[in-house]
Amino acid sequence: MNQDLTVVAILLGIIHQGIRLATPYLYAAIGEMFSQRSGVLNLGVEGIMLMGAFFGFYSVFQTGNVWLGVAAAAFVGLLMGLLMSVVSVTFKAQQGISGIGLYMFGLGASSLLFKTMLGSIQPVRGFQALRGCVGENFCMADIPVIGDIFFGYTALVYGAYLLVPIAWWVLNRSTWGLKIRAVGQNPEAADSLGVSVDAVRYASVMLGSMLAGIAGASLSIGLLNVFQEEMTNGIGFIAVALVYFGSWKPAGVLVGALLFSGVNALQLWAQVLRLNIPSDVAVMLPYLLTIIALALPFRRAMQPAALTKPFARGEG
Amino acid sequence: MRKIRWNRRFFDRLVDILVPILAVLAAFLVGAVILWLQDVSPIEAYRAMLVGAFGTKNGLSDTLVKAIPLMLVGLGIAIAFRGGVINIGAEGQIIVGALLTTFVGVELVGDFPPVLAILIGLLAGAFMGGLWGAVPGYLKAKLGVNEILSTIMMNQIAIQIGYYLLRRPMLDPAELAAGTNIPQSARLGRALDLPRFTDVAQWLGVTRSAADLELDGYLGQLYGVLVEPSRLHTGLIFAIIMAILVYVLLWRTTLGYRIRAVGLSRSASEYAGIKVGRTMVLSMTLSGMFAGLAGAIEILGLHHRMFEPVAVSAGFGFSGIVAALFGKLHPLGIIPSSILFGGLLVGGDKMQRAMQIPQVMITAVLGLVVLFVVSTEYLVQRRATRRVSIDTSATEKEAVEDAIAIPTQETG
């Protein structure tokens, strides 16, 4: 009987962690989805996340205001997106390489700023779980068994999940979404109908990068509440892969994000339970899973036709 | 008429070479602004860097030591690019190459005759790196998996495999006995030590130092680097020979022609009867082999044992991309470009010591170099196409083909 209870508690713990840990994947991958649907493969997400993580953290470190942290992360993400757009849209650079350049810049710059402006790892009081408290002595999160799973998260976590239906609506029901899809599928046709291909791509890449910045902040002031060099640990690159895995659809991206965070959560619990899996093997798992996910055959047809192809009028 | 045309070609070539140099200068200008914002004099910082990298005997030899892996990785990157695939996986390929070389050197060939042992060590590295490159190549050709993403994931997997092996089966028995358990292997057999330049000089009977010969200034330094004891090893000569071989491979063999044809246009190559998928796998395999060789050379020439995987690969997988791009993806351009960026890495280290500017600044500047170089590529290409439309003689077309450094990628 007692053992059954432990199993349930562990399971609930895994689910709670899984839902929490999906946050940075969701922000980054939904953002990247906008960029890719407009035809730009932004591989710099990892670098943008690092910059967002640093500036989000530093703002909270200085002012204590978590929302200012999110705003700072979003703003620096926007700037990084502008850089990516200038290079990839206006100068039509090969997107795979420009993204790697952006990653290296973000990695170097965030580490440099960390070393010169903070110097050592410091904690901050980041976002706190909302817990859904009603009045003085009752919180929804205290409801036995399911309370924590529904109410025990920070605003940033809820925001990430809210983003999924919003992204779906923008992409499939708004005029702007129609333009994004047109530009990613057939830029020549969109151009002939008077849609500015470059403007739509700039906007999509910058929106995506802004969300990537917030994704970084969701780590440094939401989940971990510290800033460390290279703290994103490949999440940005996995997020790019998640867009492929999710067939360029918000719902697909959500499934992928939950799958990956689930694996991460399991890994944490395996360590807690001292299961005999070498930590190096466990750490390797998400990356192996990414390659397998990319190799799954069913999603190829959904790829935006103009992905990675720069557009120049009359050269199509 | 002939003379005029030649002059224009010369001018175009000059522009092709000048543009990336301007791009690098622009990146340094941004770096100067960052330094200035941190209240550091950019002029002094860059001076410390330049002097540190090229102005002293030790600096120069360190620069050349760093140029060796950059050159080998850069060659591999260039082969992949020319073949229309992008290899971001050199970091992992260096690590697995170094791991197999270490295993072979510690366990198998430690007491072989030196020449044979070194040869086997190098082949082991190339084999393993090639294998690590072949996997993403195959996944791309057969299943359409984006090779940029798969190579990045393969890097992480290689790092974890490295830690796993070095903490368990490959752990140095001495570490195990001492109980310190620092993840590093035992030392390779002495037979596998690549001779250093100073060893070669001694064999040749050149023993007098620069001071003895009263050589001073830059000539003395250069002599010192080549003859006096330093870390500089003969891997440099090996890397330069490899660069020449890659040049021959790409421009003087059918195989190289196929690789470049697939890089320029997959559909046209298919139409011409070239097996596109197989050629892409081959480009990635060759690319991985060179990165694996870089890993092997680092072990044989410099470290003589394997330790922290990310400290052995040391970011060469990424800085090698920069060296390759700056060398215009041309094997002979990659030689000076690797020395330049080797100097940048060493200079960054010296700058950190002299002026307390974190070395990671170099990573940021390298990122900017990539962004600026790929941005200017479009301008160069547009000039090139304009050239074709003005004059479409066969030789000019060839020149254009050379000028278009980064082949356009057809699918993500």
Q: Which of A87, A102, A291 sits opposite B150 (nearest CB)?
A: A291
Q: Is B207 an interface residue toward A (CB < 8 Å)? A: no
Mean pLDDT within B56-67: 94
Q: Do A100 and B370 touch (CB under 8 A)?
A: yes
Q: At B256, phi and psi to the nearest 5?
A: -60, -40
Mean pLDDT within B268-272: 92
Higher model confidence: residue B210 or residue B177? B177
Residue A315 pLDDT level (bands cut at 50, 70, 90)? low
| Closest CA relative to residue A124, chosen from A219, A46, A51 | A219
| Count of A-B CB contacts under 8 Å | 149
Of A118-122, A181-185, A271-275, which has the strongest mean pLDDT?
Answer: A181-185
Q: Which residues, 6+ apart, have CB-to-CB distance to B368 below 8 Å?
A: A101, A105, B26, B27, B30, B31
Q: Is A145 an interface residue toward B (CB < 8 Å)? A: no
Task: Give which of A228, A232, A284, A288 to mutate to test B binding, by max B Cβ within 10 Å.
Answer: A284
Mean pLDDT within A77-104: 94
Q: How far apart are CA A271 and CA A306, in angstroms?
A: 44
Task: Give which of B95, B153, B264, B308 to mutate to test A binding, by max A Cβ within 10 Å.
Answer: B153
Mean pLDDT within B175-192: 88
Whether the complex's predicted ipTM is more than 0.95 is answered with no
Q: Are B80 and B329 in contact (CB under 8 A)?
A: no
Residue carrying structure tokens 């060796």: B68
Please say if the pLDDT value at position B178 is more than 90. no
Q: Do A307 and B406 touch (CB under 8 A)?
A: no
CA distance B123 to chain A (A): 27
Q: At A51, phi and psi to the nearest 5?
A: -65, -45
Mean pLDDT within A171-194: 94
Give residue A316's pLDDT. Answer: 47
CA distance B160 to chain A (A): 5
Give residue B4's pLDDT. Answer: 58
* B window 16-45, beta carbon within 8 A of A: 34, 38
Please say if the pLDDT value at position B76 is more than 50. yes
| Closest CA relative to residue A94, chosen from B358, B381, B76, B240 | B381
Instruction: Give Dmax over CA atoms of chain A in angstroms.
Output: 73
Q: How far is CA B392 from CA A110, B136, B377, in A?
A: 48, 38, 21
Q: Is A104 an interface residue toward B (CB < 8 Å)? A: yes
Give residue B400's pLDDT. Answer: 45
Q: HEC states along B195-217?
A: CEHHHHHHHCCCCCCCCCCCCCH
SS3 A49: helix
Q: How far is CA B145 from CA A42, B139, B140, B258, B316, in A?
A: 17, 5, 5, 22, 24
Please say if the pLDDT value at position B395 is more than 60. no
Q: How far apart are CA B359 and CA B353, in angstroms?
A: 9
Please say if the pLDDT value at position A94 is more than 50. yes
> Looking at beta carbons, which residues of chain A come within 8 Å of B88?
96, 100
Q: Are B92 and B154 in contact (CB under 8 A)?
A: yes
Please say if the pLDDT value at position B396 is more than 60. no
Task: Give which of B363, B366, B369, B373 to mutate to test A binding, by max A Cβ within 10 Å.
Answer: B363
Helices A45-63 & A2-37, crossing angle to 10 degrees? Answer: 110
Residue B2 pLDDT level (bands cut at 50, 70, 90)? low
Q: pLDDT tens-digit profile of A39-74?
A: 999 999 999 999 999 999 999 999 999 999 999 999
Please give the DSSP secondary-structure letter assigned to residue B183: S
Instruction: Compute the residue count for chain B.
Output: 412
Q: How many whole angstroms from its chain centre is CA A286?
A: 15
Q: How far apart are CA A86 and CA A99, in angstroms?
A: 12
Cβ neighbours of A238 (radius 10 Å): 29
Q: How far apart are CA A228 and CA A225, in angstroms?
A: 10
Higher model confidence: residue A105 or residue B56? A105
pTM above 0.80, yes or no: yes
> Looking at beta carbons, which residues of chain A come within 8 Å of B161?
280, 284
Q: Which residues, 6+ apart, have CB-to-CB distance to A26 below 8 Å?
A: A160, A161, A163, A164, A215, A253, A254, A257
Q: Are A107 and B152 in contact (CB under 8 A)?
A: no
Give residue B26's pLDDT. Answer: 92
Please say if the pLDDT value at position B217 is more than 90. no
Q: Which of A93, A100, A283 sits opposite B377 (nearest CB)?
A: A93
Q: pLDDT tens-digit profile of A237-273?
A: 999 999 998 989 999 999 999 998 988 888 777 777 7
Q: Do B367 and A47 touch (CB under 8 A)?
A: yes
| Closest CA relative to residue B185, chosen from B112, B101, B118, B289 | B101
Q: Which of A105, A240, A290 sits opposite B367 (nearest CB)?
A: A105
Q: How far apart are CA A62 and CA A83, in angstroms?
A: 27
Higher model confidence: residue B196 or residue B381? B196
> For residue B319, what is the nearest residue in chain A, using CA coordinates?
A104
Q: pLDDT tens-digit profile of B354-380?
A: 888 888 999 999 999 999 999 888 777
Q: Do A308 and B364 touch (CB under 8 A)?
A: no
Please give the DSSP secondary-structure letter assigned to residue B349: H
Mean pLDDT within A76-80: 98
Please say if the pLDDT value at position B308 is more than 50. yes
SS3 B171: coil
Mean pLDDT within B52-66: 93
Please give the DSSP secondary-structure letter assigned to residue B315: T
Lowest-confidence region among A52-61, B15-24, B101-110, B329-338 = B15-24
> Looking at beta carbons, which residues of chain A come within 8 Å of B364?
104-105, 107-109, 112
Please say if the pLDDT value at position B20 is more than 80. yes
Mean pLDDT within B95-110: 95
> Looking at beta carbons, which residues of chain B come within 8 Å of A291?
139, 145, 150, 153-154
> For residue A282, what is the nearest residue in chain B, using CA coordinates?
B160
Higher model confidence: residue B25 or residue B387? B25
Give residue B412's pLDDT. Answer: 40
Q: Do B358 and A103 touch (CB under 8 A)?
A: no
Q: Do A94 and B154 touch (CB under 8 A)?
A: no
Q: Which of B153, B379, B409 sits opposite A290 (nearest CB)?
A: B153
Q: Which of B145, B374, B406 sits opposite A87 (nearest CB)?
A: B374
Residue A299 pLDDT level (bands cut at 50, 70, 90)? low
Q: Are A123 and A185 in contact (CB under 8 A)?
A: no
Residue B390 pLDDT level (bands cut at 50, 70, 90)? low
| Mean pLDDT across chain B | 89
CA distance B211 to chain A (A): 41
Mean pLDDT within B202-213: 82
Q: Are B342 and B63 in contact (CB under 8 A)?
A: yes
* B window 177-196, beta carbon within 8 A of A: none
Task: Give which of B22, B96, B156 to mutate to test A binding, by max A Cβ within 10 Å.
Answer: B156
